Amino acid sequence: MQFAALGILGWELTESSAFLGYIIFAQLAPLGFLSLLGGSLADTANRRALLLSTQAWQMIWTFVLAALLIGPAIGGVLASSMGFAEVFAINALTYTIVIAVIWRM
């Protein structure tokens, strides 16, 4: 589902078949490079733990991608309803939260 959605999004943003090819290459290149490592790991590691970790990793990056796509839409709605200064103030607050989390690490 994500594979198709990224292709459609890339086409809608650029209408470039070359860019669509870059997206597909970027999605499939790690598969080619990491398949030997993945096969070796699947033979030696606990398969349940390996499956849980890979699925969790995929879920995390899917949420990151969703946030990156939803964020600008939310910003546009807020800017039209509240104004640009308020949107920048909210954005600044989100940075303070990130800095606080990093500071506590």
Has residue 69 been placed in a domain? yes
Has residue 72 been placed in a domain? yes
Has residue 87 been placed in a domain? yes
Has residue 54 been placed in a domain? no
Residue range(s) defining the domain that contains residue 99: 59-105
- One digit per residue, the tens of pLDDT, for the chain of length 105 reads 667 777 888 888 899 999 999 999 998 898 888 888 888 888 898 888 888 888 888 888 888 877 777 777 787 788 788 887 887 888 788 888 878 887 887
Domain count, the chain: 2
Provide the pLDDT for residue 16.
92
Has residue 50 been placed in a domain? no
Has residue 52 been placed in a domain? no
Provide the pLDDT for residue 19.
92
Q: What is the DSSP letter of 82?
A: T
Provide the pLDDT for residue 2.
67
**Amino acid identity at 31:** L
